[in-house]
Amino acid sequence: MQGYQVILKETRDVAEGTRLFVFEKPAEYVFTAGQYVAFAVPNTSGIEVDPRGLTRSLSIASAPCEPDLYFAMRQGESSFKQMCWQLKAGDTATITKAVGFFLLPSDSDMRPVVFLAGGIGITPVRSILKQAEHDGSKRSFTLLYSNRFAKDITFGEEINALDLERFRAITVLSKSTDACAPLNDERGYICQPMLEKYVEDILGHLYYIVGSPEFSDAMEQMLIGLGIPKEQRHMDPFTGLRTQAAK
């Protein structure tokens, strides 16, 4: 695959079974918050590669203002994930030019934004929010972030600490046995009553959906049922693929 060779600086576990990969950012590399790349790892251990190969589409989790490139993924059984988990500082991967339209509108359109994110789908949201913080954005942001358990939450403390003037993050846990939810913490699944609880003037917002295909479909159907027009619904372009890519 042609593209940019990037050098791994470090890895960090950022949730149970979820790893952050920090790469040096090439001096000439540019992207917009919310975009993704094709990410390829070499077969350095001689393992048998499954039919899907060693390349995946991954959102960039870092913001353009940050000095490094971040990618995060959940652990899995595929040969791609096995190779990624073997990466160590100094190893290389190849990425393409960033693409995608999961982007905020220009500042001439300051409509408030609602992110509906599930699991590892938080990665492009982190990029967008970190850049918004850097830019001193006055836009209103609401994040409803769905996971099964608290241990699955990725970038939780970092996102809650964002210095944004108009930002609220709501954690939604679908499988937690703790029935006592603190402020801005919900149990169950993101649904219409939950959205109405946190979002005033539902029809006046822009909505950004990112997560598993099942999650994304459910969120889109909810918004359609609420009468949100297509031009106000934005879905991460590659997470909706009907595949077993997460494995």
Distances (CA, A) of 1 to 35, 55, 97, 182, 232: 19, 9, 11, 47, 35
Confidence (pLDDT) at 183 = 61
Confidence (pLDDT) at 180 = 59
- Residue 222 pLDDT class (50, 70, 90 cuts): very high
User: Which one has a higher pLDDT value, 2 or 68?
Assistant: 68
Any idea which architecture 113-235 has in CATH?
3-Layer(aba) Sandwich (3.40)
Tens digit of each residue's pLDDT (9 = 90 or more) over 83-124: 999 999 999 999 999 999 999 999 999 999 999 999 999 999
Supply the pTM of this predicted model. Answer: 0.92
Within 10 A of 31 (CB to CB), how many other CB atoms are there? 20
- Residue 52 pLDDT class (50, 70, 90 cuts): very high
Burial of residue 170 (CB within 10 Å: 0-12, 13-18, 19+) is buried
Confidence (pLDDT) at 181 = 59
Confidence (pLDDT) at 243 = 44
Confidence (pLDDT) at 2 = 77
**In the predicted structure, residue 242 carries a pLDDT above the cut 50:** no
Q: What is the mean pLDDT of the chain?
A: 92
Confidence (pLDDT) at 90 = 97
Short-list 38, 72, 75, 49, CA closest to 246 = 75
Tell me if 4-95 shares its fold with 113-235. no
Tens digit of each residue's pLDDT (9 = 90 or more) over 173-210: 998 776 655 667 899 999 999 999 999 999 999 999 99
CATH of domain 4-95: 2.40.30.10
- Residue 247 pLDDT class (50, 70, 90 cuts): very low
Residues 6+ apart with CB under 8 A from 60: 31, 33, 35, 36, 37, 69, 70, 71, 98, 123, 124, 127
Average pLDDT over residues 53-58: 95
**Sequence ranges of the domains in the chain:** 4-95, 113-235
Within 10 A of 7 (CB to CB), how many other CB atoms are there? 13
Average pLDDT over residues 154-161: 94
